[in-house]
Amino acid sequence: MKLVLVTAVEEFQKDVLKLFKEAKIENFSSSDIDGYKNIPSLLVASNWFSGIKGGNESIMYFSFTEDKNIDDLFNLIEEFNKNLETNNPVKAVVVPIEKWI
């Protein structure tokens, strides 16, 4: 069993849910997050007290699942990212789990 974490901008929510379904990952959780990219320090300094939100509305999905499902999910994400017209690919990482109850 491993923990898979997937992040995506909010506009890809339906796509990521479809990828999870195709990979047979039926049990997962999600959380709304703000995604940031490194921006030049000059922009950060000029925006220090501004009310403008600097992050992109994103979602993080996570699931404890089996290796086969994760391999399938990674293949599907790689294929999905090949066809993107934006600079916001879906990202995924796997964390091994030593113990669980």
Cα angle 78, 70, 81 (rounded to 5 degrees) comes to 15
Q: What is the pLDDT of residue 97?
A: 85
With a pLDDT cut of 90, the percent of the chain lying above it is 63
**Domain 2-44+56-96 architecture:** 2-Layer Sandwich (3.30)
Interval 26-74: pLDDT, tens: 999 999 998 776 655 545 555 544 455 566 789 999 999 999 999 999 9
Q: Which two tokens stand for residue 35?
A: 């995604």
CB 2 within 8 A of CB 28: no
C-alpha to C-alpha distances, 55 to 52, 61, 88, nearest whole angstrom: 9, 18, 12
Place of tokens 């950060």: 44
Q: What is the pLDDT of residue 99?
A: 87
Question: What pTM was estimated for this model as a whole?
Answer: 0.80
